[in-house]
Structure 1
Amino acid sequence: MYEQLFALMLPLLIFTLTAASTPGPNNMLLSANGAHFGFRASMPFVFGIRLGILLLVVLLSLGLGAIFTNYPAAQQVLKLICIAYMLYLAMKIAFASPVSKQDKGAQPLSFWHGVVFQFINPKAWMTSLTCLSAFTLVGEAYFYSVLMVIFAWSITGFIGSLFWICCGVAMQQLLKTPRHWQIFNITLALATLASIAMIIGN
């Protein structure tokens, strides 16, 4: 059993790092948050994402994923909810003010935003389901392989989240004028819309 678990570890880490680091709803929001509010203010959102993914993986490992198998319409409902929310966020990002002119009442995305968003984020569902399908073992090894998946997601996901926040923070240093901020915000909003296109296509 331990030999099987050890053999799975490297491909599991590669898969989760790729899934956590490639563009998607979480990462677009992390980059926008980092650009507008900085590194420290973005960390609660990071921890929220990580906890949300962890809870999702645990629930899926206990059989929640069977909902999509038994009720395919549930997946479509999830997509529609996510698309509506992402459209709202894309509009909010596109028309966000430059940091220098930002409303004093503006707040970064919170810990609970990060937790709750994972449950309407199709990329989180699909990558978690794929990960559990591909990297868990049957029988008595199942429990240990689920723990291994949780461990891998926690480590690589945290690295991926920090990368996207740092991209946003770096952009904050480069964007010197309101025009620069407008271009950045619209670009990020378009990338968010591209994430929606990926969701629709899946």
Structure 2
Amino acid sequence: MLSFAAAVFLLIITPGPGVLSTAGMGAAYGFRPTLRYVFGLWAGNNLVALAVITGVAAIVLGVPVVRNVLLVASVVYLLYLAARIAFAGTRVAFIEAKRPPGIAAALMLQAINPKAYAVNTTLFTGFAYAPDNLVWETASKLVIFNLFWIPIHLAWAWAGVTLERLNLGVRHQFHINVVMALAMLGVVILALLSSFGAN
């Protein structure tokens, strides 16, 4: 169980689209909109966990056409979300960035987030510490997972909000938002490359 808890901590705290977009939301829009977004990420991640636990994810992602469609959809959507973060508070004609992404956007992100599937698959198919009681093991894994997931994402949100509270100039804030958006895309590209390498 301790090795599972350590794995949860290390896998969640490392940058991925969820935590990076949370920090970006905090920096771009402040704490309250970010809390709504984090709630959506949390709900979406638990839905991904249930899909992995029940085997639905393996069945759906086992179909090459579906997997490729989801990969393309994830890239397109993450580009859109990264642009929303990068251009928050700016007057750019082709994107309306004043209204922050909310719960629905976060749910959508988790549904197509490659890291969410990889982490949940690793955690729920490995680290068997109660093989004689699979129901208890799965339930306790969900509890432990969420006990780490919630404070880690709130910490990333706080880090983003702290950047926003520094009252940096518009130009500096824009650069921070762009860096966060690019970092999010970089992690996604690495996940996609490793996915293609595994096939």
Structures share fold, TM-score greater than 0.5: yes
Q: Distance in 2 between matches of 1:66 and 1:93?
A: 31
Within the candidate set 136, 143, 162, 1:144 is matched to: 136
Alignment coverage as a number of residue pairs = 189
Within the candidate set 48, 51, 63, 2:55 is matched to: 63
Code of the residue aligned with 2:174 in structure 1: it is Q
Give the structure with the higher percent helix: 1
Q: 1:124 is matched with which residue?
A: 116
Q: CA deviation at 1:140?
A: 4.8
Structure 1 residue runs of 5 or longer lacking an equivalent are 1-7, 99-103
Q: CA deviation at 1:180?
A: 0.8
Q: Distance in 2 between matches of 1:108 and 1:70?
A: 34
Alignment of 1:70-85 (within 5 A): 70-85=62-77
Structure 2 residue runs of 5 or longer lacking an equivalent are 91-95, 195-199
Contact 1:35 1:169 in 2 (8 A): yes
Q: Distance in 1 between matches of 2:152 and 2:167?
A: 23
The alignment-based identity, stated in percent, is 27
How far does the alpha carbon of each residue in 1:28-87 deviate from its partner, in whole angstroms, 9 at most, with x for none? 210111112222321121122112111221222111133267424433332221111111
Q: 1:35 is matched with which residue?
A: 27
Contact 2:131 2:137 in 1 (8 A): no
| Counterparts in 2 of 1:105 and 1:189: CA distance versus 1, 3 Å | closer
TM-score, normalising length: structure 1 = 0.83
Alignment of 1:1-202 (within 5 A): 8=1, 10-67=2-59, 70-97=62-89, 106-136=98-128, 140-202=132-194
RMSD, matched Cα: 2.3
| Counterparts in 2 of 1:94 and 1:42: CA distance versus 1, 3 Å | closer
TM-score, normalising length: structure 2 = 0.84
Q: CA deviation at 1:193?
A: 2.1
